[in-house]
Amino acid sequence: MSRMLRNSLLTVTAAGALAAAPLAVSHLDDEQMMQSYRQSYLALLGLNFGPMVAMVKGEIPWDQERLEAFADDLDTLMDVDFLRGFPEGSQRGTTRAKPEIWDNKDDFADKYADLQKAVASLDEVAATGDRDAIAREVAATGDACKACHDEYKAKDYLY
């Protein structure tokens, strides 16, 4: 993807995010800002990664242009400081984040770094159009997500 096209996509994405910002923050609770921060970030990850998984599985039609856009946006999300959403004291509230995150912050950060690497690789491979390679990178990215979920995400809200 050319730099100009990528910059255009980023500009459109940023403009859309700014337009939606009032809606995005309307649900925020002053007492649970970090929980909302985490949940909003993870929702954006899912909304970009989910359609890619569905394309690879054949659940929706393959659309190379959309897949590349999802991969680019997912990679852009990796620049957001997700880990700042876990300060001391944010363990309770409307959350599925297990307390083990705060007990094992280095491991949690390492797992997130693995996700960042997987997403960067997915973004590169997505641009090639090689469906088999894309499927492998989608699976690797899913594994990186699952590594955190297995240890640090509860099935239900905890508090």
70 in any annotated domain: yes
123 in any annotated domain: yes
158 in any annotated domain: no
Count structural domains, the chain. Answer: 1
State the pLDDT at residue 18.
55
> Per-residue pLDDT tens for 40-60?
999 999 999 999 999 999 999
**Neighbouring residues of 104: CB distance < 8 A, sequence distance ≥ 6:** 151
CA pair distance 104, 101, nearest whole angstrom: 5
Domain of residue 98: give its range.
30-152
8 in any annotated domain: no
14 in any annotated domain: no
Give the predicted TM-score (pTM) of the model. Answer: 0.80
pLDDT at 17 over 70: no
136 in any annotated domain: yes
CATH number, domain containing residue 128: 1.20.120.10
